[in-house]
Amino acid sequence: MSRTYLSPPDVGRVERDLLIEAFDSNWIAPLGPHVDAFEREFADAVGVPCAVALSSGTAALHLALLILGIGRGDDVVTSTMTFAATANAIAYVGANPVFIDVSPDTWTLDPDLLEEELKRRARRGHQAAAVLTVDLYGQCADYARVGEICERYGVRLVEDAAEALGATYGDRKAGAFGECAAFSFNGNKIITTSGGGMLVSRRRDIADRARHLAAQAREPAPHYQHAEVGYNYRLSNLLAAVGRGQLQSLPDKLARRRAINDEYRRALRDVPGIAFMPEAAYGRSNCWLTCLTVAPEAFGASREDIRLRLEREDIESRPLWKPMHLQPAFAGRAMSGGSISEDLFQRGLCLPSGSNLTAAEQANVIAALAATSAARGQSARGVAHA
Ligand SMILES: Cc1ncc(COP(=O)(O)O)c(C=O)c1O
């Protein structure tokens, strides 16, 4: 059997046809009809007026912070439980990341810690320039609370929705909460363009500025005229064509990821020591990755035992994100709390969750996971068979 990957690309005939059509049209450039159409269709899918197609989610985060005027010496409060790109973008603009632990109930930015942080800063007269939330593994941060806290302290809100396309908070979609939000179309995301990203915003002036800066800040002139430093961040028309095809099947991909998540929960619900990422009542996750934690005493084996066992069976799984405050690149940065994310990193695992995962592959993952405790002298207790 071939290797089972964590979250591989799931592309098909529609993407192929659109890509060939884009190729044959000779719009092989970081602009063209597919870029314009992808932006319109994506904005509709998220429920925001403006979207700007970029070369990566990281580029979208970078431009978002830059356009909001965040720069050298500013503090940006963000979740420690994230991929490095969130914190890197803060560093790109010369600002300081201030890390906050996550809530055990959602694994996203803890609103109580955020409130304490902004209150302390208000007292000292040194408020943060922005809060950058992360919609982790496809679950929205608690926007009613986070939004209210940001508003009360007059701090701007930016959303890292890289992992969360299609997730909801109440009746709104991930990406609709910050002044700007960033999405990723990296190869492992719920939809992919191999590499790519989108900056979305309610504000047209922000979108126009992002388009300008992403195209080397080139001024409208017959020669090459630049009034400021720009970036080469636009998405190619070829990749936008792939993205349009991917977007058409987003509802199917969401349904499939949800079904995979449901099946893991069903099959492992009675296994001692296994707990899944909580799904907050305020919304619906896009189930990008199914994540769980392992209590070694109760399960009879550790997270690493499971990961290595899966690896021996040619199944890819990953520890949860290593918190940013534990990363050497961000050593010595301000941090509030930390025990929740450290524990998640120690005991957490992401399971294969791709929308093209077959039922047989998933059954193998479940059997291998359960067999890890059996191999440690316990019976494979609690696995529910379909
Ligand atoms: C939370 C988070 N932020 C940002 C990114 C960066 O996106 P990209 O890889 O498209 O630059 C990713 C994924 O890669 C991510 O998971």
For residue range 214-233, list pLDDT tens digits in order.
999 999 999 999 999 999 99
C-alpha 186 chain-centroid distance:
10
Q: What is the CATH number of the domain that holds 68?
A: 3.40.640.10
Instruction: For ligand 1, pick from 88, 99, 163 the residue to mutate: most ligand atoms within 8 Å of CB.
Output: 163
Same domain, 38 and 173: yes
Reduced to 3 states (helix: H, G, I; strand: E, B; else coil), residue 325 is helix
CB burial class (10 A; 0-12, 13-18, 19+) of residue 66? middle
Same domain, 258 and 195: no
- Convert the pLDDT of each residue in 255-264 to its tens digit: 999 999 999 9
Q: Rounded to an integer, what distance in angstroms lies between the CA atom of residue 322 and that of residue 336?
A: 16
Q: Rounded to an integer, what distance in angstroms lies between the CA atom of residue 323 and that of residue 80?
A: 5
Ligand 1 centroid from CA 370, angstroms: 31
Flag whether 280 is in a domain: yes
Same domain, 245 and 255: no
What ranges in the chain are assigned the alpha helix state H?
13-25, 33-46, 57-67, 84-92, 111-124, 143-153, 204-214, 237-248, 250-268, 296-299, 303-312, 339-347, 359-375
Q: What average pLDDT does the segment 345-369 reach?
A: 98
Query: What percentage of residues in the chain have a pLDDT greater than 90?
Result: 95
Same domain, 239 and 346: no
Q: Rounded to an integer, what distance in angstroms lies between the CA atom of residue 129 and that of residue 69?
A: 9
**Measured from the CA of 134, which atom of ligand 1 is nearest?**
1
Residues 6+ apart with CB under 8 A from 285: 137, 138, 139, 140, 167, 261, 277, 279
Ligand 1 centroid from CA 269, angstroms: 30
16, 22 in Cβ contact below 8 A?
no
Q: Rounded to an integer, what distance in angstroms lies between the CA atom of residue 9 and that of residue 188?
A: 6
Same domain, 199 and 330: no
pLDDT of residue 353 exceeding 80, the answer is yes
Flag whether 149 is in a domain: yes
> Would you state the torsion angle of the CA atoms of residues 130, 133, 134, 135, taken in this order, to the nearest 10 degrees?
-150
- Convert the pLDDT of each residue in 154-185 to its tens digit: 999 999 999 999 999 999 999 999 999 999 99
- Convert the pLDDT of each residue in 187-200 to its tens digit: 999 999 999 999 99
Instruction: For ligand 1, pick from 79, 184, 321 the residue to mutate: most ligand atoms within 8 Å of CB.
Output: 184
Q: What average pLDDT does the segment 91-98 reach?
A: 98
- Convert the pLDDT of each residue in 28-57 to its tens digit: 988 899 999 999 999 999 999 999 999 999
pLDDT of residue 380 exceeding 60, the answer is no
Where among 221, 249, 277 does a domain terminate? 249
CB burial string 338-353: b at 16+ within 10 A, e below: bebbbebbebbbbbbb
Where among 195, 222, 249 does a domain terminate? 249
Pocket of ligand 1 (CB under 6 A): 56-58, 82-83, 85-86, 134, 160, 162-163, 184, 186, 197
Same domain, 235 and 266: no
Ligand 1 centroid from CA 57, angstroms: 5
Number of domains in the chain: 2
- Convert the pLDDT of each residue in 296-313 to its tens digit: 999 999 999 999 999 999
Flag whether 5 is in a domain: no
pLDDT of residue 3 exceeding 80, the answer is yes
Same domain, 275 and 242: no
Only one residue has tokens 């080139």, namely: 218
78, 90 in Cβ contact below 8 A?
yes
What residues make up the domain containing 287? Answer: 251-384
| Neighbour count for residue 256 (Cβ, 10 Å) | 19
Which amino acid, one-letter code, is at 161?
A
- Convert the pLDDT of each residue in 101-112 to its tens digit: 999 999 999 999
pLDDT score at 236: 96
Q: What is the CATH number of the domain that holds 297?
A: 3.90.1150.10
| Neighbour count for residue 125 (Cβ, 10 Å) | 6
Q: What average pLDDT does the segment 226-247 reach?
A: 98
pLDDT score at 52: 98
Flag whether 223 is in a domain: yes
pLDDT score at 386: 64
Flag whether 182 is in a domain: yes
Same domain, 153 and 287: no
Instruction: For ligand 1, pick from 99, 159, 186 the residue to mutate: most ligand atoms within 8 Å of CB.
Output: 186
Tell me which residue of 191, 136, 164 sits closest to 7, measured CA to CA: 191
Flag whether 3 is in a domain: no
**Which two three-digit tokens encode residue 26?**
């000779």
**Which two three-digit tokens encode residue 84?**
């490095």
pLDDT score at 29: 82
Same domain, 244 and 255: no
Same domain, 232 and 109: yes
Q: How confident is the model at residue 381 (pLDDT cuts 50, 70, 90)?
A: low
Same domain, 77 and 91: yes
Reduced to 3 states (helix: H, G, I; strand: E, B; else coil), residue 50 is strand
Flag whether 142 is in a domain: yes
Q: How confident is the model at residue 383 (pLDDT cuts 50, 70, 90)?
A: confident
**Which two three-digit tokens encode residue 239?**
């990749």
Residues 6+ apart with CB under 8 A from 222: none
pLDDT score at 12: 96
Same domain, 171 and 261: no
Strand order in the sheet with 274-276: 274-276, 290-294, 348-351, 318-319
Q: Rounded to an integer, what distance in angstroms lies between the CA atom of residue 350 and that of residue 329?
A: 23
Where among 207, 233, 249 does a domain terminate? 249
What's the number of CA atoms in the CB half-sphere (13 Å) around residue 159? 32
Residue nearest atom 12 of ligand 1, based on CA coordinates: 162
Ligand 1 centroid from CA 62, angstroms: 11
Q: What average pLDDT does the segment 321-339 reach?
A: 95
pLDDT score at 121: 98
Residues 6+ apart with CB under 8 A from 185: 57, 191, 192, 193, 194, 195, 196, 197, 198, 239, 243, 246
Which amino acid, one-letter code, is at 366?
I
pLDDT of residue 250 exceeding 60, the answer is yes
Which amino acid, one-letter code, is at 268?
L
